[in-house]
Amino acid sequence: MAKSIQAWLDTPPGEIGVSKWFSIDQARVDAFAEVTEHTHWLHTDPERAASEGGYPGTLAHGFLIVSLINKAIDSADLRPSDSPYALNYGVDKLRFLKPMPIGNGFSIRDRIHLIEVEMRDAGLFTRTKHAFEIEGVEGPAVVAEYLAVWVPEA
């Protein structure tokens, strides 16, 4: 259940949620490639990627996974109940730790940890660690510290 901004200020650092599993398949990777204009064959051409890429096929874009941070926050019901929106403040310590071969697709979820929380002039500042893990694979594939400012209701 979502907490108020005030309740977030009393939340100690540590794991605060786990998102639902999200499906990543070639169609999703292709759509991301088109919208970002990053259509490199390693992401979009399964036959060429398999023969020239050193992997069994195409790979998911690391930034596709990072773009799921807000979806993961919502999936884990972590959006403050009295904040109509958040402002992205940045991403620190972003690492792509494992290649993510598409093959027949895979599922990924996000383990979310609170690192820092404080009230600032613009709203509730949070620094959260996101560790995206692939179903059936040990350890995270992508990790990032996400910075956001949750704007309070007027």
Q: Are 21 and 107 in contact (CB under 8 A)?
A: yes
Task: Specify the pLDDT at position 38.
Answer: 97
Type of residue numbered 44: T
- What the chain holds in terms of domains, given with CATH numbers, is 5-24+60-151 (3.10.129.10)
Give the pLDDT band (50/70/90) at residue 108: very high
Task: Specify the pLDDT at position 2.
Answer: 84
Q: What are the pLDDT digits (tens) for 2-34? A: 899 999 999 999 999 999 999 999 999 999 999
| 81 contact partners, CB below 8 Å, separation of at least 6 | 2, 3, 4
Q: What are the pLDDT digits (tens) for 42-84? A: 999 999 999 999 999 999 999 999 999 999 999 999 999 999 9
pLDDT at position 1 over 80: no
pLDDT at position 114 over 80: yes
Q: Are 98 and 71 in contact (CB under 8 A)?
A: no
| 58 contact partners, CB below 8 Å, separation of at least 6 | 26, 29, 42, 43, 44, 45, 46, 49, 101, 102
CA distance linking residue 115 with residue 66, whole number of Å: 18
